[in-house]
C-alpha cells in the first residue's frame, strides 16, 4: 500500500512481502484437513508407485536433480492453476517448514478455482480449440471441471449429447464443428479418445503399423456416418447409411461397425416398412433445414451410441482409459509413456508398460477420476526433477555422451523437459507477472477469487487467441516475438506505469537492487543470480535519468525470456 | 532432445548440405521432426546459410482465389459451344494462342510455360484450396505444410533478417492464412490482410530506437546467462525468434511502395493487386524466398465473362509488368512466378452466363526460374471437358515446382517414424517444361 | 392487356444462349441472335417450320443486338462488328469493324440512322443506308473508379427519335440530343454498380437497360440491386424511374423474389405500365405501375431472358433467353415444341 507521506515514497520490499504472506496464508491451510484422509493416502501411494516404476527403468543411474522449492512451485502452479505463482505464494511456500508441503500445496491448488479454469482450458485445447472458439462449449467444460466430472461421463456427454443431456446444446460443439467432414470426425475422435491415428489407413492398410487396416478406418467412420445435426442444433442419428470403400485390390466393400480392437457391432435388421422409413428420412431432412421442424424420432440402433457403449464396456474400457492416462502423463512430462500420443499400437510399445498399466487400473477403479491421477503425478518425485544439466554442470563431458544421456533421460523421465506455455498459461501469467503483485496476492486470497479468476480469464482471451497452440514440434513463431516487441498492448497495457502494474509498483521502490529482486520474483519466481544482479544493476546505473523506462525495459526483458516462456 | 544414431554418426563437414543433413537426421531414431528442426537451429548454421544464400531462389505465387477460368485465360476454345464470347489471340510464341483477355501476356510468354492439363478432381473451394496449397489430398490427423512454408524452409535462411514467407490476402472471401503444419511455427506466414504493412513490424513512437535495441540486448544477455545452465533447443528456438525481430523491423521499408520511383509505381498501376505485386517484387529482391499475392475472388458462377473482363485485365497487366520488372532487374532467372488457383471453371455456361467449379481439365502457368519459356504442356479436348494429353495432378505440379527450383522432389520429411515426401507419393516433375 | 393471363403460347428449345431478337412489321418473321455467332430466322406464320440460318461469313462471337429496317437486318456482336444482312438472300451486305470492344446494343431511328454502343464506351452513329460513320461520342469513363474496365451496356431512343440515352457499368446515364449529339442531361444510379470492396473485390451489375417514357420525360433504368454474394446474380432485380428534367428519382422498384438483372424494359404506350424482363439462372417478366411502382404481375420463365419484343397492339411478346425462344400471349392456349433442327 503506497504511503501518503511524500517522504516515504519508497518502501521496503521485505515489509511488502510480509504483508502479502499474511494475506494468503489461508490458501495453504484450505486443504490441510483433506491431507489426512484415505483418499490422500491412496494418492500418495500411487505417487510412490510411479516413482518405483520410473526408478526401476533407470538402469544407467542417470544423474538426477530435484527442483528447488521455488522451481517446484512455479512448475506445479503453472500445471495446476494455469498461471505463474505470485511473489507471496513463493515466499510463503519457501517459508513453510512442513514435511508434506508438496501434498499441501497440490491439494490447495487442486481445490482452488484456478484448477477448474485451467483444466477447462486444457480440455478445450485438446478437444476443440484448434477448430473453433466456442464460448458456450467452454462454459459446459467449466461446469464439468468444477465438479471433477468423471472422464467417461464427459466422453458420453460430448459424443452422445442427445442421450445424456438432450436439452443442453453446449456439449454438441465437438461433433458440430466436425460434422462437415466425416474423415475428420472419425479420425479426430479416434485420436482424441483412443490415441489412435488411423488417417494413414484410409487408402490402404497402414504401411507402418500392422494393427491398423483399412477396415479399422472405415469401421470407425461407420459409427459416425449416420450422425446429423438439426437446424435447431440437436444431434441425431439416421435410420440407415453405410460406409462403402474400395480395397487396394479394387474390391468394393460395405464397412462393418468395427472398433479399433477389432470388435464388431452387428446391426439388427431394420423392422420398419419402406413407407415409414421414407417418412422418417424426410422428417430428418426437414429438421436439418428448418428450425421450426419437429424433432425426428431416434432409431433403435444408433451407431455412435454403440461406439460409446462399446468403448466403455468392461472388455474395451482399458483401451479408452489408457489413452487419457497417457495424455495426462504427457501434459506433465512433455512426453507420453507411449509416444507419439496418437500412436498407441503394438509396434510402438510403452517406455514403462507396468506404470501405464498401474495408472490405467487405478484410473478405472477410481471411476475415471482425472483429478486423482493428476494429483498423484504432481506428487511424484519424477515430476519434480529439474531440467538436464548442461555441459558445464555435468560430471561427464563430451558432446555425444551428453546428448545420449539427455535423450535417454527424456525417454525414461529421469529429468524434466521444458514445455512451452499454452496460450492461456502465457497470457494469464503475463497478466499476473506484470500486475501489481500486492494487489494480485490480495485478490487471490480473497473469497471472491473465483469470480476474479473468471474475469482474469476474460482479460487473457485476447492475447491467448493470438498465440499459437503448441503442438508436437512447437517453435515460437516470430509473430509472437514481434507482438511482445512492438505491440501497443504490450508497451502500454502490460508495461503500464500505473499503480495497478508491476512497473508502477517497482517505481515506488527506491533501491535498485530491491527493484531487481522484486522484478525477478514477480516474473521468474526466483531471486536474481549474482551475475544477473550485476548485469541488471549496470543497466540501471547507465540509465539513471530514465527510471520508469528502465524498469519497463527490465520487466520486458524478463517476460520475454525463454525462462518465462516455458514451464521447466 | 538430440537425435544421434548410436554408431557410425558422421562428423558434420563443411560440405554437408541441408538435404543430406535432413536425410541423416531422418534416418536416426524416431524422435520426430521436432528434434530435427531444433537440431537445425541448434547447429552452427553459417556454412549452410552460405550455401543457401548462394542458391538464392525465390517464388512469387499469384493466387487466383475462387478459381479463374482456363477458357478465358490460358486454354481458350474459340468457336466451340463452351468457348464463350472471347477470341483467341496469337502470342509471340508461334503456335501458342491464349484468350484475348490476356493481350499483354501474349507478348510475355518467352519466359512462361502454360500447363493446360491439370486434373485435380476436387471442386469445392475449401478442400481444393488445401489440395492446391499443400500439393496433396488432406489426410485427417496429419497437418501438411503449405507450399509457402515448404519453400520458406527449403529456400530460406534460418536466421534471415527478412521474412521468409509473406502472404497477402486482402479480400475476405476465401481468405485462408496457410500454415506451416508439421514444419512448425517458424515457417508460418507473415500474413497481410487489411494493411499493406505487417503487424507489429514497426517500433512504437513511445520507445526510442536505442531503448528498443538495448532492451533486446538485455534480454539476450539474460537468456545467455540462463542458457549456461539450461541449454535446450526449445529455448534456442525462442531466442532465435527474438533474434529476428530487429532484422524484420529493418525490413519494413520493403512493404512501403512509396519508396519506389513514381515511374515504377505507374507501371504496376493503381489496383491493389498491382501494388501488392510491386511489394512482392521488392520482397524477393531483398531475398524473401516466398511471397504469395492472392487476388480474390474469381468465383464467377454468374456473369463469368463480365467478371473475367474485370479481373483478367488486372491479372494480365500486373503479371506482365511483374515479369518485365523481374527480368530487367536480373531477378527472373532465379524467381519462379506461379499463377494458380484452387481449380478452373466449367466449360459449360450456366443460365446466369456463369461458369461453375471445375477441376478436371484446367490450367496454370510457371514463369522464370528453371522454366522452359514459350512452352505449353498438356492438352484438353476440343470443348475443354477432359485432359487428352499430359494429365497432371497437384503432386505432379508440386514436383515440377520443386524441380524448377532445384529442390529434390523425392526428399522426405520425417514425421515421427513416418516419412512424408515433400511432393506427394507417385508424383513426377514435368521435365519438358524445365530447363 | 390482361397481364395476369400472360403465358407462353409457343416455346422453341435450343442448345444455345439467345441474346436478342427482332420482328418484322408484318409480324410474320422473327430473327434472333445466338451464342453460336449466328443469326436465325424463324417463320411465325408457320411456327413449326425449320429455322433459317444466316450466312457463314457473319459474326465470330455472340450476337448481342439486332434491328430490322425494311428488308435489311442489322446485327451487332461481341466480335465488335456491325453486319447488314439481306433478309431475302440471308447473306451479309456489309460488315463493319464498328467498335474497339464488344458491341452491346444497337437501335435505329425512323429517319434512317443507326446507333450503337460498345465497351470502348463510345456511342456511334451510322448512316443506315451507306454504313458511313456519322459521329462518335461518349460521356462514360473507360475505367471504373476502382480501375477496372468499364462497360457501356445500355442504349435507348425516345419514341419520337429526338433523344437518346446511354448507360454504363458504374451507374451513369447520359441523355443526348439525337441530332446534335449534345448531352442534355445525366442520371446517376450508383447502386446498380454492385461493387464489392471487401469480400470479393469486383462487381457484377451495371445498367443493363434503359427506356424512355412515351412522352420522353421519364427514364427507366434496369439492373440489379445490392448483392450479398456477387458470385451469383443474387440481388433483387431493380428498376429505377427518373424525371429526366430534374434528375429526380421517382421510383425504386426492387423484387427480392425475382433476383438478377433486369435486361429489358418497355413502357406501355399510355405510360402507365412498364414491362421488365431478365433473371438470374431462371428468368422473369414483370409488370409494374409506373406511378406507384406497384407490381401488377410477374411470371417466371425457365431461362434467363436477354431479349424482349413487346407488341402492345397484337398483345403478344417474344423473349430470347438461355436456350429458349418463346412467344407469349395474354390468354391463348399453350403449346410446347420440341427442339427443332436448325437449317
pLDDT tens, per residue, chain B with 435 residues: 333 333 333 333 333 333 333 333 333 333 333 333 333 332 333 334 434 433 689 999 999 999 999 999 999 999 999 999 999 999 999 999 999 999 999 999 999 999 999 999 999 898 899 999 999 998 877 889 999 999 999 998 877 788 999 999 999 999 998 889 999 888 999 999 988 899 999 999 999 999 999 999 999 999 999 988 888 888 998 999 999 999 999 999 999 999 999 999 999 999 999 999 999 999 999 999 999 999 999 999 999 999 999 999 999 999 999 999 999 999 999 999 999 999 999 999 999 999 999 999 999 999 999 999 999 999 999 999 999 999 999 999 999 999 999 999 999 998 877 889 999 999 999 999 999
How far, in Å, CA of A87 to CA of A85, rounded?
7
Contacts of C among chains (3+ CB pairs under 8 A)? B
Using a CB–CB cutoff of 8 Å, tell me whether A390 touches chain B. yes
Grid coordinates of B19: 538435404
What Cα–Cα distance (Å) separates residue C342 from each residue in A38, B176, C41, C77? 95, 49, 10, 20
- Cβ atoms of A115 and A81 within 8 Å: the answer is yes
pLDDT at site A205: 75
pLDDT at site A247: 81
Find, in chain B, the residue whose alpha carbon is nearest to that of A488. Answer: B204
Contacts of B among chains (3+ CB pairs under 8 A)? A, C
Is the pLDDT at A57 greater than 90? The verdict is no
DSSP state of B111: G
Contact (CB<8Å) A473/B37: yes
- Chain B residues touching C230 at Cβ < 8 A: 302
Over residues C267-285, the mean pLDDT reads 97
How far, in Å, CA of A505 to CA of A523, rounded?
13
Q: How far is C-alpha A563 from the geometric centre of its chain's CA atoms?
A: 19
Residue corresponding to grid cell 515514497: A9
pLDDT at site C336: 47
Is the pLDDT at C146 greater than 50? The verdict is yes
Using a CB–CB cutoff of 8 Å, tell me whether A343 touches chain B. yes
Distance (Å) from the C-alpha of residue B129 to the closest C-alpha of chain C? 16
- Chain B residues touching A485 at Cβ < 8 A: 200, 212, 216, 242, 245, 249
C147 → closest Cβ in B269, B296, B350? B269
Q: Which of C18, C144, C200, C321 has the most B C-beta neighbours within 10 Å, making it the best mutation to test the interface with B?
A: C200
Is the pLDDT at A330 greater than 50? The verdict is yes
How far, in Å, CA of C224 to CA of C171, rounded?
11
Contact (CB<8Å) B188/A184: no
Q: Which of A177, A398, A478, A516 has the most B C-beta neighbours within 10 Å, making it the best mutation to test the interface with B?
A: A478
Is the pLDDT at A461 greater than 90? The verdict is yes
Using a CB–CB cutoff of 8 Å, tell me whether A130 touches chain B. no
B416 → closest Cβ in A181, A343, A471? A343
How far, in Å, CA of B336 to CA of B59, rounded?
5
- Cβ atoms of C224 and C194 within 8 Å: the answer is yes
pLDDT at site A202: 75
Share of chain A above pLDDT 70, in %: 90
How far, in Å, CA of A220 to CA of A260, rounded?
7
Distance (Å) from the C-alpha of residue C263 to the closest C-alpha of chain B? 12
pLDDT at site B51: 45
Q: Which of B265, B310, B312, B314 has the most C C-beta neighbours within 10 Å, making it the best mutation to test the interface with C?
A: B310
- Cβ atoms of C116 and C126 within 8 Å: the answer is yes
Find, in chain B, the residue whose alpha carbon is nearest to that of A480. Answer: B241
pLDDT at site A405: 58
Contact (CB<8Å) A491/B214: no
Using a CB–CB cutoff of 8 Å, tell me whether A184 touches chain B. yes
Is the pLDDT at A471 greater than 90? The verdict is no
- Cβ atoms of C21 and C318 within 8 Å: the answer is yes
Grid coordinates of A554: 527490465
Using a CB–CB cutoff of 8 Å, tell me whether A477 touches chain B. yes
Q: How far is C-alpha A97 from the geometric centre of its chain's CA atoms?
A: 30
Q: What is the pLDDT of residues A13-53, one digit of tens each?
A: 443 443 344 334 444 555 667 778 889 999 999 999 999 99
List B residues 352-391 in contact with C (Cβ-Cβ < 8 A).
Answer: 352-354
What Cα–Cα distance (Å) separates residue C216 from each residue in A105, A560, C273? 91, 75, 15
How far, in Å, CA of A156 to CA of A317, rounded?
13
How far, in Å, CA of A472 to CA of A336, rounded?
11
Using a CB–CB cutoff of 8 Å, tell me whether B87 touches chain C. yes
A563 → closest Cβ in B2, B190, B226? B226
Q: Range with the lowest mean pLDDT among A101-105, A175-179, A344-348, A561-565?
A: A344-348
Alpha helices in A212-345 (DSSP H): 214-225, 274-289, 303-311, 317-333
- For A90, list phi and psi in degrees, rounded to 5: -65, -50
- For B40, list phi and psi in degrees, rounded to 5: -60, -45
How far, in Å, CA of B213 to CA of B207, rounded?
10
Rg of chain C in Å (alpha carbons): 19
Over residues C72-99, the mean pLDDT reads 97
pLDDT at site A201: 78
Q: Do chains C and A touch (3 or more CB pairs under 8 A)?
A: no
Domains in chain C: ranges and CATH: 154-312 (2.130.10.10)
Over residues C102-108, the mean pLDDT reads 97
Find, in chain A, the residue whose alpha carbon is nearest to that of B232. Answer: A418
CA atoms within 13 Å, Cβ hemisphere of C327: 26
pLDDT at site A207: 65
pLDDT at site A30: 52
The CA-based angle B127-B128-B134, given to 5 degrees, is 90
What Cα–Cα distance (Å) separates residue A347 from each residue in A203, A446, B130, B221? 20, 52, 31, 45
Distance (Å) from the C-alpha of residue B16 to the closest C-alpha of chain A? 19
How far, in Å, CA of C260 to CA of C227, rounded?
9
Q: What is the pLDDT of residues A501-510, one digit of tens each?
A: 999 999 999 9
pLDDT at site A28: 54
pLDDT classification of C332: cutoffs 50, 70, 90: low
Q: What is the pLDDT of residues A514-561, one digit of tens each?
A: 999 999 999 999 999 999 999 999 999 998 778 999 999 999 999 999
A407 → closest Cβ in B2, B41, B185? B2
Alpha helices in A3-65 (DSSP H): 13-29, 38-56
Task: Choose among B344, B327, B417: nearest CA to B114.
Answer: B344
pLDDT at site A402: 42
How far, in Å, CA of B100 to CA of B68, rounded?
15
Contact (CB<8Å) B186/A200: no
Contact (CB<8Å) B4/A491: no
Amino acid at each position: 500500500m503506497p504511503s501518503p507521506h511524500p517522504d516515504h515514497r519508497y518502501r521496503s520490499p521485505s515489509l511488502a512481502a510480509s504483508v502479502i504472506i499474511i494475506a494468503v496464508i489461508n490458501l495453504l491451510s484450505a486443504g490441510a484437513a483433506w491431507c489426512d484422509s484415505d483418499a490422500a493416502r491412496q494418492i500418495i501411494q500411487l505417487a510412490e508407485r510411479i516413482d518405483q516404476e520410473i526408478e526401476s527403468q533407470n538402469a544407467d543411474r542417470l544423474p538426477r536433480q530435484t527442483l528447488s522449492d521455488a522451481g517446484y512451485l512455479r512448475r506445479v502452479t503453472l500445471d495446476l492453476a494455469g498461471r505463474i505463482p505470485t511473489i507471496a505464494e513463493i515466499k510463503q511456500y519457501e517459508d513453510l517448514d512442513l514435511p508434506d508441503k508438496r501434498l499441501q500445496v497440490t491439494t490447495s491448488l487442486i481445490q482452488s478455482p484456478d484448477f477448474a479454469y485451467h483444466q477447462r482450458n486444457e480440455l478445450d485445447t485438446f478437444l476443440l480449440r484448434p477448430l473453433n472458439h466456442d464460448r458456450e462449449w467452454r462454459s459446459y467444460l467449466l461446469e464439468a471441471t468444477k465438479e471433477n466430472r468423471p472422464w467417461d461421463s464427459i466422453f458420453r456427454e460430448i459424443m452422445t449429447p442427445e442421450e445424456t443431456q438432450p436439452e443442453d446444446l453446449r456439449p454438441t460443439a465437438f461433433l458440430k464443428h466436425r460434422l462437415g467432414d466425416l474423415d475428420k470426425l472419425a479420425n479426430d475422435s479416434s485420436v482424441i479418445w483412443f490415441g489412435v491415428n488411423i488417417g494413414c489407413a484410409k487408402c490402404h492398410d497402414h504401411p507402418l503399423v500392422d494393427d491398423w487396416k483399412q477396415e479399422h478406418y472405415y469401421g470407425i467412420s461407420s459409427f459416425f456416418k449416420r450422425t446429423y445435426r438439426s437446424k435447431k442444433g440437436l444431434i441425431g442419428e439416421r435410420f440407415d447409411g453405410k460406409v462403402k470403400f474400395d480395397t487396394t485390390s479394387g474390391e468394393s466393400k460395405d464397412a462393418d461397425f468395427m472398433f479399433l480392437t477389432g470388435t464388431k457391432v452387428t446391426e439388427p435388421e431394420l423392422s420398419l416398412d419402406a413407407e415409414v422409413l421414407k417418412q422418417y428420412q424426410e422428417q430428418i431432412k426437414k429438421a436439418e433445414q428448418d428450425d421450426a421442424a419437429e424433432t425426428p424420432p431416434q432409431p433403435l440402433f444408433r451407431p455412435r451410441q454403440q461406439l460409446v457403449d462399446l468403448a466403455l464396456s468392461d472388455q474395451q474400457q482399458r483401451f479408452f482409459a489408457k489413452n487419457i492416462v497417457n495424455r495426462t502423463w504427457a501434459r506433465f512430462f512433455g512426453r507420453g509413456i507411449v509416444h507419439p500420443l496418437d500412436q498407441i499400437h503394438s509396434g510402438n510399445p510403452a517406455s514403462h508398460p507396468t506404470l501405464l498399466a498401474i495408472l490405467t487400473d487405478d484410473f478405472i477403479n477410481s471411476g475415471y477420476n482425472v483429478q486423482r491421477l493428476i494429483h498423484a503425478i504432481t506428487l511424484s518425485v519424477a515430476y519434480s526433477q529439474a531440467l538436464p544439466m548442461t555441459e558445464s554442470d555435468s560430471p561427464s563431458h563430451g558432446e555425444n555422451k551428453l546428448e545420449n544421456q539427455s535423450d535417454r533421460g527424456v525417454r525414461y523421465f529421469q529429468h524434466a523437459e521444458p514445455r512451452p506455455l499454452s496460450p492461456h498459461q502465457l497470457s494469464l501469467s503475463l497478466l499476473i507477472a506484470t500486475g501489481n503483485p500486492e494487489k494480485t496476492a490480495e485478490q487471490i486470497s480473497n473469497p471472491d477469487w473465483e469470480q476474479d479468476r473468471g474475469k482474469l480469464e476474460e482479460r487473457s482471451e485476447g492475447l491467448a487467441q493470438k498465440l499459437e497452440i503448441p503442438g508436437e514440434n512447437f517453435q515460437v513463431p516470430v509473430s509472437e516475438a514481434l507482438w511482445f516487441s512492438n505491440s501497443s498492448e504490450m508497451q502500454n497495457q502490460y508495461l503500464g506505469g500505473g499503480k495497478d502494474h508491476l512497473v508502477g509498483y517497482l517505481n515506488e521502490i527506491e533501491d535498485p537492487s530491491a527493484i531487481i529482486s522484486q522484478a525477478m520474483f514477480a516474473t521468474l519466481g526466483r531471486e536474481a543470480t549474482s551475475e544477473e544482479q550485476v548485469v541488471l544493476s549496470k543497466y540501471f546505473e547507465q540509465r539513471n535519468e530514465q527510471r520508469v523506462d528502465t524498469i519497463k525495459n527490465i520487466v520486458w526483458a524478463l517476460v520475454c525470456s525463454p525462462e518465462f516462456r516455458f514451464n521447466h | 532432445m538430440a537425435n544421434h544414431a548410436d554408431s557410425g554418426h558422421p562428423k558434420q563437414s563443411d560440405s554437408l548440405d541441408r538435404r543430406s543433413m535432413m536425410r541423416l537426421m531422418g534416418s536416426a531414431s524416431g524422435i520426430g521432426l521436432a528434434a530435427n528442426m531444433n537440431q537445425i537451429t541448434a547447429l552452427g548454421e553459417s556454412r549452410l546459410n552460405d550455401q543457401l544464400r548462394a542458391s538464392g531462389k525465390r517464388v512469387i505465387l499469384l493466387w487466383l482465389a475462387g478459381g479463374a477460368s482456363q477458357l478465358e485465360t490460358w486454354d481458350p476454345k474459340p468457336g466451340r459451344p463452351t468457348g464463350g464470347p472471347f477470341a483467341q489471340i496469337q502470342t509471340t510464341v508461334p503456335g501458342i494462342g491464349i484468350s484475348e483477355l490476356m493481350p499483354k501476356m501474349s507478348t510475355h510468354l518467352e519466359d512462361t510455360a502454360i500447363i493446360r492439363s491439370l486434373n485435380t478432381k476436387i471442386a469445392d473451394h475449401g478442400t481444393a484450396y488445401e489440395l492446391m496449397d499443400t500439393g496433396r489430398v488432406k489426410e485427417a490427423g496429419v497437418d501438411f505444410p503449405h507450399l509457402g512454408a515448404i519453400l520458406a524452409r527449403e529456400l530460406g535462411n534460418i536466421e534471415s533478417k527478412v521474412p521468409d514467407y509473406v502472404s497477402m490476402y486482402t479480400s475476405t472471401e476465401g481468405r485462408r492464412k496457410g500454415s506451416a503444419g508439421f514444419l512448425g511455427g517458424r515457417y508460418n506466414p507473415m500474413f497481410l490482410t487489411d494493411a499493406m504493412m505487417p503487424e507489429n513490424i514497426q517500433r512504437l513512437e513511445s520507445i526510442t530506437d536505442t531503448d528498443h535495441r538495448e532492451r533486446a540486448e538485455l534480454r539476450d544477455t539474460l537468456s545467455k546467462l540462463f542458457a549456461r545452465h539450461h541449454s535446450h533447443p526449445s529455448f534456442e528456438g525462442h531466442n532465435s525468434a527474438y533474434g529476428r525481430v530487429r532484422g524484420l523491423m529493418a525490413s519494413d521499408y520493403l512493404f512501403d511502395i512509396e519508396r519506389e520511383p513514381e515511374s515504377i509505381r505507374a507501371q504496376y498501376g493503381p489496383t491493389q493487386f498491382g501494388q501488392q505485386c510491386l511489394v512482392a517484387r521488392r520482397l524477393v529482391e531483398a531475398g524473401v524466398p516466398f511471397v504469395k499475392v492472392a487476388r480474390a475472388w474469381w468465383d464467377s458462377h454468374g456473369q463469368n465473362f463480365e467478371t473475367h473482363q474485370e479481373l483478367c485485365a488486372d491479372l494480365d497487366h500486373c503479371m506482365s509488368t511483374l515479369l518485365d520488372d523481374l527480368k530487367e532487374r536480373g531477378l527472373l532467372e532465379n524467381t519462379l512466378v506461379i499463377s494458380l488457383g484452387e481449380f478452373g471453371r466449367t466449360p459449360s455456361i450456366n443460365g446466369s452466363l456463369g461458369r461453375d467449379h471445375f477441376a478436371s481439365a484446367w490450367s496454370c502457368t510457371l514463369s522464370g526460374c528453371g522454366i522452359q519459356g514459350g512452352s505449353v504442356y498438356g492438352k484438353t479436348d476440343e470443348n475443354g471437358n477432359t485432359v487428352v494429353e499430359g494429365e497432371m495432378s497437384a503432386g505432379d505440379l508440386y514436383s515440377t515446382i520443386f524441380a524448377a527450383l532445384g529442390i529434390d522432389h523425392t526428399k522426405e520429411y520425417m514425421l515421427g517414424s513416418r516419412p512424408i515426401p515433400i511432393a506427394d507419393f507417385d508424383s513426377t516433375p514435368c521435365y519438358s517444361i524445365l530447363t | 392487356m390482361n397481364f395476369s393471363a400472360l403465358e407462353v403460347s409457343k416455346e422453341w428449345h435450343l442448345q444455345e444462349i439467345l441474346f436478342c431478337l427482332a420482328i418484322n412489321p408484318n409480324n410474320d418473321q422473327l430473327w434472333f441472335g445466338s451464342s453460336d455467332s449466328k443469326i436465325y430466322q424463324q417463320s411465325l406464320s408457320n411456327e413449326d417450320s425449320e429455322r433459317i440460318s444466316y450466312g457463314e461469313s457473319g459474326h465470330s462471337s455472340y450476337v448481342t443486338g439486332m434491328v430490322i429496317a425494311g428488308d435489311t437486318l442489322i446485327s451487332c456482336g461481341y466480335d465488335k462488328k456491325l453486319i447488314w444482312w439481306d433478309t431475302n438472300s440471308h447473306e451479309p451486305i456489309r460488315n463493319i469493324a464498328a467498335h474497339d470492344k464488344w458491341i452491346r446494343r444497337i437501335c435505329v431511328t425512323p429517319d434512317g440512322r443507326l446507333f450503337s454502343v460498345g465497351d470502348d464506351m463510345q456511342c456511334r452513329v451510322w448512316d443506315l443506308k451507306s454504313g458511313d460513320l456519322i459521329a462518335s461520342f461518349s460521356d462514360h469513363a473507360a475505367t471504373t473508379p476502382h480501375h477496372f474496365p468499364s462497360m457501356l451496356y445500355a442504349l435507348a431512343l425516345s419514341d419520337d427519335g429526338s433523344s437518346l440515352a446511354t448507360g454504363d457499368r458504374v451507374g451513369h446515364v447520359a441523355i443526348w440530343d439525337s441530332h446534335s449529339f449534345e448531352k442534355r442531361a445525366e442520371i446517376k444510379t450508383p447502386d446498380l454498380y454492385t461493387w464489392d470492396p471487401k469480400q470479393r473485390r469486383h462487381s457484377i451489375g451495371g445498367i443493363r437497360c434503359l427506356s424512355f417514357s412515351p412522352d420522353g420525360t421519364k427514364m427507366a433504368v434496369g439492373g440489379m440491386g445490392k448483392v450479398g454474394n456477387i458470385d451469383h446474380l443474387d440481388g433483387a432485380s431493380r428498376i429505377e424511374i427518373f424525371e429526366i428534367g430534374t434528375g429526380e428519382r421517382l421510383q425504386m422498384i426492387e423484387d427480392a423474389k425475382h433476383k438478377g438483372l433486369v435486361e429489358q424494359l418497355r413502357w406501355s404506350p399510355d405510360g402507365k405500365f412498364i414491362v421488365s424482363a431478365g433473371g438470374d439462372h431462371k428468368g422473369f417478366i414483370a409488370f409494374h405501375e409506373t406511378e406507384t411502382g406497384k407490381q401488377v404481375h410477374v411470371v417466371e420463365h425457365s431461362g434467363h431472358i436477354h431479349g424482349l419484343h413487346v407488341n402492345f397492339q397484337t398483345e403478344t411478346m417474344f423473349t430470347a433467353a438461355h436456350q429458349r425462344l418463346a412467344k407469349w400471349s395474354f390468354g391463348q392456349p399453350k403449346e410446347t415444341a420440341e427442339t427443332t433442327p436448325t437449317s
